[in-house]
Amino acid sequence: MLASPRPATAATSRAVFGRLDDGTPVEEVRLRGARGFEARVIGYGAALRSLLVPDRDGRLDDVVLGHDDLAGYVSGRHYFGASVGRYANRVAGASFALDGRRYELVANDGPNALHGGPAGFDRRVWTTLALGDDPHPFVTFGLSSPDGEEGYPGALEVEATYALTGPTELTVHLTARTSRPTIVNLTNHAYFNLGGARGGDVLDHRLTIAAAQYLPTDASAIPLGGPEPVAGTPFDFRTPQPIGARIREADEQLRRGRGYDHNWCLAPARLDEPRLAARLEEPRSGRVMELLTDQPGLQFYSGNFLDGSIPGKGGRLYRQSDALCVEPQIWPDAPNRPDFPSARLDPAQKYLHTSIYRFSAA
């Protein structure tokens, strides 16, 4: 780890976003690109707090949900823009076996472990390790997770890098190393609304997902079995579909999740290079987001549990379907499913995750 990050440049800047009750400072880093494109990332949860994107007329708007101050992130746990781990999504029964030994995790979603447990990475202050603009504006945050934290084996060293890798392109690169065999599944949990974070709902957004199969789930959102075809179901997004077109259909899977909250199966294992996983279009602004990733799964969540009780930016109360998440990751409950892509990480290996968010306007 670097002793201190490089100083800010014209394309990057850093400031104290807020302080925890014990006085611990939390930084915010701004990365500036072309045409006003800008990302703001905070050290609390290594979270993407703001993303300014131009529309077809060049007007900028913030397209991710979040809070105006640190208190909003600390007082409630909604994963807005957070780097989630050690295991994104769910582990059934909050336990798994590895090399003949069973590990008991901390259940925080009924009987299951969700997004790393009650003290997941989204609840931690990450350290700013590096900051600069060579070859493009970037910031790298680091986090150390001790052996046994939340029940997971192995001391883990994690890094999250945000970089503006194109005029209107944000790349998120997540890495991890472990001191002994463990499981790792990291993702970014940004809530997107391409009409603007203070706009209406996302039900008119047109979504395409490059997957022919998805994972149906039980009442606790654990996969029931193996992948099932999307053909002939409301889960078929192989061609562009308005999110709201079929979300109210009498489908048991939609009823259980109060909308979409499922994993689409992109590949049987991690890819060597990122490829197109999803495309999102917002008709009024013309904004388009293409998501490329090297991960084998994509969790699409239609903001079903935003219930009007969560105050966000500008004092706006976030309501159902005010935003959506498309979370690249390993499939849910993979540690308990040898037929799923492996989440195992050994000391000789390095966990790698690259996702690219490429914006344009039509």
User: In the predicted model, what is the mean pLDDT of the chain?
Assistant: 96
Catalytic residue among 67, 78, 189, 205: 189
In the numeric block, the tokens 């100083």 are attached to 7
Q: Is the pLDDT of residue 53 over 70?
A: yes
Q: What is the pTM of this model?
A: 0.96
- Contact at 8 Å (CB) between 19 and 28? no
- Specify the pLDDT at position 4: 55
Q: Which of left, alpha, beta for 278 (phi over 0: left; psi -120 to 50: alpha)?
A: beta
Closest by alpha carbon to 291, among 119, 198, 171, 117? Answer: 171
Q: What b/e readout covers 202-237, taking b as 16+ CB neighbours within 10 angstroms?
A: bbebbbbbbbeebbbbeeebbbeeebbebeeebbbb
- Specify the pLDDT at position 10: 76
Q: Is 12-201+294-361 assigned to CATH 2.40.160.40?
A: no
140-181 per-position pLDDT tens digit:
999 999 999 999 999 999 999 999 999 999 999 999 999 999
189 counts as catalytic: yes
212-259 per-position pLDDT tens digit:
999 999 999 999 999 999 999 999 999 999 999 999 999 999 999 999
Residue 215: C-alpha distances to residues 83, 194, 225 (Å):
23, 26, 7
List all residues 6 or more positions away from 259 whose beta carbon is below 8 Å from its beta carbon: 247, 302, 303, 304, 320, 321
- Specify the pLDDT at position 271: 97
Q: Any idea what DSSP says for residue 341?
A: P
Q: Is the pLDDT of residue 3 over 80?
A: no
Residue 48: C-alpha distances to residues 161, 199, 232, 261, 307 (Å):
11, 18, 36, 21, 22
- Contact at 8 Å (CB) between 214 and 228? yes
327 counts as catalytic: yes
Question: 359: exposed, middle or buried (C-beta count within 10 Å: 0-12, 13-18, 19+)?
Answer: buried
> Which pair of structure tokens corresponds to residue 30?
């701004």
Q: Which helix (H) or strand (E) holds 107?
A: none
Beta pairing class for 60-62 and 101-104: unpaired
Catalytic residue among 27, 149, 159, 327: 327
